[in-house]
Amino acid sequence: MHPIRFSKWYFLFSFIGHLYLKRDSIETYNFYVVYRKMGNVTKSELYNMSNHQLLANLGWQPLFQQQLSLDEWEECIPARIIEQYRSEITVSTGENTLNLPLLPSMPEMVVGDWILLNKENRFTRLLERKTCFVRKASGTKLKEQLISANVDTAFIVSSMNDDFNLNRIERFLALVNEAGAEPVILLSKSDLAKSPQDFIEQIQSLHGFISVESVNCLSKDSLLTLQPWLNRGSTIAVLGSSGVGKSTLVNTLLGKEQQATSGIREADSKGRHTTTNRSLITLKDGGLILDTPGMREIQLADCKDGIATTFKDIEALAAQCQFSDCQHQTEPNCSVQYAIETGELEQRRLDNYLKLLREESRNSASLSERRATDKAFGKFCKRTLEQSKRLKGQ
């Protein structure tokens, strides 16, 4: 086609397309231009194409799409939970953002979850998750607490100061590995650390290949190393104790002070629990980042695989112990103890591994006991209700 004629048609169809659809989304408009050039796509297909692009930017993946029936694909609107409060959630459809009240009839949901809305924007159902971070609720509560859902990568942030703690990092690694997300250790406050390399080496001394980056959360240039994880549509959760710089990192990536931050306590380098709710924020250059409140306590439950992945080295050694139920303490021919003696394995790492295993099995046992009690109580209520209905009917 002649270049001048092409641009005339292009302009004309683009203009008609804009009037015809009367949609303000630029993506829809652009798709319409493509559509006119392709010539045989229907308006509804066209809308789906554009909407699909917006959803993809919001983290929509084939795994979620596959869960929709044809009817649901026609009738329902997928939406992602981007913020969560005590009695309501904020969801985004890619085009719109809306608040929904949390009702007792709804399943337990968390930021990052995908849900379906009907045409009246009412909750229809929760889609199955790709990944989910869970911990036992803090304190004495016998309950699992969801931290976030459908996360691809977790930035485990730890500052290079007195608050740095390998045991805590291993705890986070177990949680992230259990969920099947990719962990990346971010060592923050590189501008204040005397010797960042020492901290990096401590992480590298943990088993296997672990991605580790030393960053200054206040500097955009320093965060350029994170680009490989910030792809369009990928979801990154920022986890770590209070005061390590999670919200500062989010603000620097965003290029504005959206999340509140505050200084740490001088005496012990601990934070002030500034962030109190979780929010999933779309970055301009791609990726969605989830700021989370600093976690005081990450009690592991239902996390056996996550611990096994995090401590693969110890599990491999344990497989060579003489006794299959070896506790790696004083048993003869214990490969784990042998590795400690030769310096191949650090005593701290073994102690943490055993501690996490004990904690995990204690928490998982009490949670499953609680589930069984709840189930029995549920059955009892159902039976009583049925009996009283029967009596009334007589």
Ligand X SMILES: Nc1nc2c(ncn2[C@@H]2O[C@H](COP(=O)(O)OP(=O)(O)OP(=O)(O)O)[C@@H](O)[C@H]2O)c(=O)[nH]1
The residue ranges that bind ligand X (CB under 6 A) are 188-189, 191-192, 216-218, 240, 242-248, 261-264, 271-275, 293-294
Q: Using CA atoms, how far apart are residues 70 and 48, in angstroms rounded to an integer?
A: 13
Question: Which among 370, 286, 339, 292 has a CA at the least distance from the CA of 58?
Answer: 286
Which range touches Zn ion (CB under 5 A), out of 90-98, 144-152, 263-271, 326-334? 326-334
Determine the size of the site formed for Zn ion (CB under 5 A). 5
Least distance CB 372 / ligand X (angstroms): 35
Q: Which of 55, 151, 321, 357 binds Zn ion (CB under 5 A)?
A: 321
Which residues have a Cβ under 8 Å from the Cβ of 231 and sit 6 or more positions away? 286, 287
Pick between residue 153 and residue 251 the one whose CB is nearest to Mg ion: 251
| Other beta carbons within 10 Å of 115 | 21
Pick between residue 96 and residue 258 the one whose CB is nearest to ligand X: 258
Q: Does 314 bind Zn ion (CB under 5 A)?
A: no
248 binds, among ligand X, Zn ion, Mg ion, none (CB under 5 to 8 A by kind): ligand X
Q: Does 159 bind Mg ion (CB under 5 A)?
A: no
328 binds, among ligand X, Zn ion, Mg ion, none (CB under 5 to 8 A by kind): Zn ion
Pick between residue 171 and residue 328 the one whose CB is nearest to Zn ion: 328
Q: Which of 275, 279, 309, 337 binds Mg ion (CB under 5 A)?
A: 275
Q: Using CA atoms, how far apart are residues 394 and 373, in angstroms rounded to an integer?
A: 32
Q: Does 252 bind Mg ion (CB under 5 A)?
A: no
Q: Quote the distance between the C-alpha of residue 32 and its chain's center.
A: 34
Q: Does 279 bind Mg ion (CB under 5 A)?
A: no
Pick between residue 275 and residue 309 the one whose CB is nearest to Mg ion: 275
Q: Position 130: which residue type? A: K
CB hemisphere CA count around 257 (13 angstroms): 4
Pick between residue 131 and residue 242 the one whose CB is nearest to ligand X: 242
Q: Position 381: which residue type? A: C
Q: Does 216 bind Mg ion (CB under 5 A)?
A: no
Q: Does 251 bind Mg ion (CB under 5 A)?
A: no
Q: Which of 336, 339, 345, 350 binds Zn ion (CB under 5 A)?
A: 336
Q: Quote the distance between the C-alpha of residue 203 and its chain's center.
A: 22
Least distance CB 326 / Zn ion (angstroms): 3
Pick between residue 277 and residue 329 the one whose CB is nearest to Zn ion: 329
Contact 89, 81 (CB under 8 A): yes
Pick between residue 21 and residue 334 the one whose CB is nearest to Zn ion: 334
Contacts 24+ apart (CB under 8 A), 277-282: 277/83, 277/84, 277/85, 278/83, 278/84, 278/110, 278/111, 278/147, 278/148, 279/82, 279/83, 279/111, 280/80, 280/81, 280/82, 280/83, 280/111, 280/112, 280/235, 281/82, 281/250, 281/254, 282/57, 282/58
Q: Does 79 bind Zn ion (CB under 5 A)?
A: no
φ/ψ bin of 125: left (φ > 0), alpha (ψ from -120 to 50), beta (otherwise): beta
Q: How many Å is the Cα radius of gyration of the chain?
A: 26
Q: Does 292 bind Mg ion (CB under 5 A)?
A: no
Residue 283, both tokens: 């970055």
Q: Which of 92, 190, 247, 310 binds Mg ion (CB under 5 A)?
A: 247
326 binds, among Zn ion, Mg ion, ligand X, none (CB under 5 to 8 A by kind): Zn ion
Least distance CB 246 / Mg ion (angstroms): 5
Q: Does 334 bind Zn ion (CB under 5 A)?
A: yes
Q: Does 148 bind Mg ion (CB under 5 A)?
A: no
Which range touches Zn ion (CB under 5 A), out of 11-19, 148-156, 271-279, 333-341? 333-341
**Which phi and psi (to 5°) does residue 305 adopt?**
-65, -40
Q: Which residues of the chain form contacts with Mg ion (CB under 5 A)?
A: 246-247, 274-275
Q: Which residues of the chain form contacts with Zn ion (CB under 5 A)?
A: 321, 326, 328, 334, 336
